[in-house]
Amino acid sequence: MSTNGTILVVDDDPDVLTAARLLLRQHFDRVLTTEDPGEIEPLMAKSQIDAFLIDMNFALGRNTGAEGLKWLERILTLDPDAVVVLMTAFGDLNTAVQAMRDGAADFILKPWQNDKLVATLNVATKLRRSRARVNALSVLPPADEMIAVSPQMQRVMQIVARVAPTDVNILIRGENGTGKELVAQAVHRQSSRSDKVLVTVDLGAVAESLFESELFGHKKGAFTDAVSDRAGRFQAADHGTLFLDEVGNLPPASQSKLLRVLESREVLPLGSDQTVPIDVRLVAATNQPLEQLVSDGLFREDLLYRINTIQIELPPLRDRTEDIEALVDHFVAIYSRKYRLTGKRVGPGAMAALRSYHWPGNIRELSHAVERALILSDHDELDTADFQLNTGTEAVGPDSLNLEAGERRLVTEALEKAGGNISHAAALLGITRAALYRRIEKFQL
């Protein structure tokens, strides 16, 4: 099944490119390939690349990975939000750590496992979309100038400014679309570790069977596909910040392993008998009621205490309506530049409607609404109709035969019944977690 995304594969072996093209075109909209890394920049100029898959060694006989690191640096210079996955037949722990510290999203060893490669690039394209959303939510000036007109958000930024310079663990709580990742970035930028790496892990996208390998790393031979040493996310974030998103989705076994690492400040890679000390600042985020999960026996109480030394609660957009006008003006400016529009503005009636709307998808939904209205409107002053707000007058009730509305209602109800737990909601709907994520994004939930 195709999924939105354009992949650029760069490798000097035409057989590798053919294999990648045949595999990946079954899963992504476009797959671009080239044997010449010098073509990367022209291809970036012509196409929006959602994920890069780049070989680390192009010259015959070279296996240091230096060329891959050079092209990684060049890509990130051209596009700081680019998501790059590096691949090599000569993987080792030091190269993997260096690549991830330099900004690589992941590290694949050749010959690859098809399922692993597809899964890695699916996560990479999701990360690209996530970064785009974060940029849409962020203000071009530094983080301490984020839009915070409302007293609630001013208080949030005061807390960030106070706790960021410390090394205490932070738990960010809030509904989907309230900007939890943006706040994590603000914490990192204002911390003493700001010159080091910020590593983000979406725990909702990490399979339980891969949890230890992804977070703690593995040694060559630890399992069938472990053909070389691989650094985990904790090692990649050493001396920096580790942001664990959707921490409430962790199954109990993974919670125990995470707690052990946080208490001991060291990881044990799979297949190794030697622990590796780690020095990370932990920031976690969740949209779930962890105290209720603790009461239900679904989340460890000692882990909750460990991760929420400081708790930052992000208010939903409906509770910070003072920020809506400033956010709308901000998004109008961003998307007007992006789509080369001039003279666009939101009329007073439309602005009043935006302020009174309940925004179930929070800032993310507001961003999409403004972008869509700017693109589709054929006049300079946007009115209420341009925003296509679901004000409750549409036929979206249980008796509605509208397929889109019915699907959105079922997804919303499942998420509410599951308390926001993605795995439980997917089980209720009888679909996979990945399918549920696609619907959450589709309906801007």
Calpha distance 95→371 (Å, rounded): 41
Which pLDDT band, with edges at 50, 70 and 90, does 107 fall under?
A: confident
Question: Which residue, 101, 359, 141, 337, is CA-closest to 236?
Answer: 101
Q: How far is CA 405 from CA 305, 427, 428, 439, 441, in A?
A: 40, 20, 18, 12, 15
Contact predicate 323/149, CB 8 Å: yes
pLDDT given for residue 301 in this prediction? 95
Average of per-residue pLDDT across 147-154: 89
Calpha distance 169→307 (Å, rounded): 6
Dihedral angle of Cα 115, 118, 124, 129, to the nearest 10 degrees? -120
Average of per-residue pLDDT across 242-252: 92
Calpha distance 408→413 (Å, rounded): 9
DSSP 191: S
Question: Which residue, 10, 104, 5, 87, is CA-closest to 51?
Answer: 5
Q: Which CATH superfamily, name and number, covers 146-315? A: P-loop containing nucleotide triphosphate hydrolases (3.40.50.300)
SS3 332: helix
DSSP 158: H
Whether residue 251 has a cis bond before it, omega within 30° of 0: no
Calpha distance 181→184 (Å, rounded): 5
- Per-domain residue ranges of the chain: 3-133, 146-315, 318-387, 403-442
Most confident of 1-15, 199-213, 255-269: 255-269
**Torsions phi, psi for 58 (to 5 deg):** -105, -40
Which pLDDT band, with edges at 50, 70 and 90, does 395 fall under?
A: very low
Each residue's pLDDT tens digit, 265-305: 999 988 888 999 999 999 999 999 999 999 999 999 999 99
Calpha distance 131→182 (Å, rounded): 9
CATH fold group of domain 318-387: Helicase, Ruva Protein; domain 3 (1.10.8)
Most confident of 67-71, 371-375, 406-410: 371-375
pLDDT given for residue 47 in this prediction? 82
Which residue type sits at 166? T
Reported CATH class of domain 403-442: mainly alpha
pLDDT at 95 over 80: no
Contact predicate 292/333, CB 8 Å: no
Beta strands in 169-265 (DSSP E): 170-173, 198-202, 241-245
Which pLDDT band, with edges at 50, 70 and 90, does 138 fall under?
A: very low
First to last CA, the chain: 23
pLDDT at 327 over 90: yes
* Same CATH fold assignment for domains 146-315 and 403-442: no
Range 3-133 classified under CATH 3.40.630.30: no
Calpha distance 239→278 (Å, rounded): 8
Q: Is the pTM of this model over 0.75?
A: no
pLDDT at 61 over 70: no
Which residue type sits at 3? T
Neighbours of 359 (CB within 10 A): 24
Each residue's pLDDT tens digit, 70-82: 888 889 888 888 8
Question: Which residue, 187, 193, 177, 235, is CA-closest to 359?
Answer: 177
pLDDT at 100 over 80: no
Only one residue has tokens 């760069």, namely 10
pLDDT at 2 over 60: no
Least confident of 108-112, 115-119, 173-177: 108-112
The token pair at 63 is 């296996």
